[in-house]
């Protein structure tokens, strides 16, 4: 019996810091749909976070990297589906409660991803 490593959930060449930055941008969009104020977003801190994630990820154990990749993949998947559903409202106003819930889930996923690397 041979054992082979499972393929990574992270697409080849995808930078973990970039993934986090993209999820942060989606979070900003969802918060604006929810009617939340996102003017206080500091782009410098977002860049610092992305750099920290990239650096820390590459020093992490493979098991931590795989868990991070899985969380990032899951978050990206349901974030894309959630945003698509919110935008499907068309001319009607998207439901703010749903946008708020999606923003909360994105916040939680980003916090879990950061906690993995600490």
Q: CA-to-CA distance for 103 and 3, rounded, in angstroms?
A: 39
- pLDDT tens sequence across 41-70: 678 888 899 999 999 999 999 999 999 999
> What pTM value is reported for the model?
0.81
Residue 95: which pLDDT band, with cuts at 50, 70 and 90? confident
When divided into structural domains, the chain yields a total of: 1
Within a domain: 83: yes
Instruction: Give the C-alpha distances (Å, rounded to integers) separating 93 from 4, 34, 89, 105.
Output: 49, 10, 6, 21
Within a domain: 87: yes
Within a domain: 108: yes
Within a domain: 9: no
Domain range spanning residue 84? 16-31+43-117
Within a domain: 1: no
Within a domain: 102: yes
Q: CA-to-CA distance for 62 and 67, rounded, in angstroms?
A: 9
């Amino acid at each position: 019996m041979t054992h082979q490593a499972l393929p990574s959930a992270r697409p080849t060449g995808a930078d973990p810091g970039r993934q986090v930055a993209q999820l942060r941008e989606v979070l900003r969009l969802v918060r604006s749909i929810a009617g939340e104020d996102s003017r206080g977003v500091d782009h410098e801190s977002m860049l610092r976070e992305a750099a920290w994630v990239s650096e820390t990820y590459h020093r992490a154990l493979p098991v931590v990297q795989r868990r991070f990749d899985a969380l990032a993949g899951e978050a990206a998947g349901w974030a894309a589906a959630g945003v698509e559903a919110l935008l499907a409202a068309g001319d009607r106003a998207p439901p703010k409660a749903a946008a708020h819930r999606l923003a909360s889930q994105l916040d939680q996923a980003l916090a879990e991803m950061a906690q993995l690397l600490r």
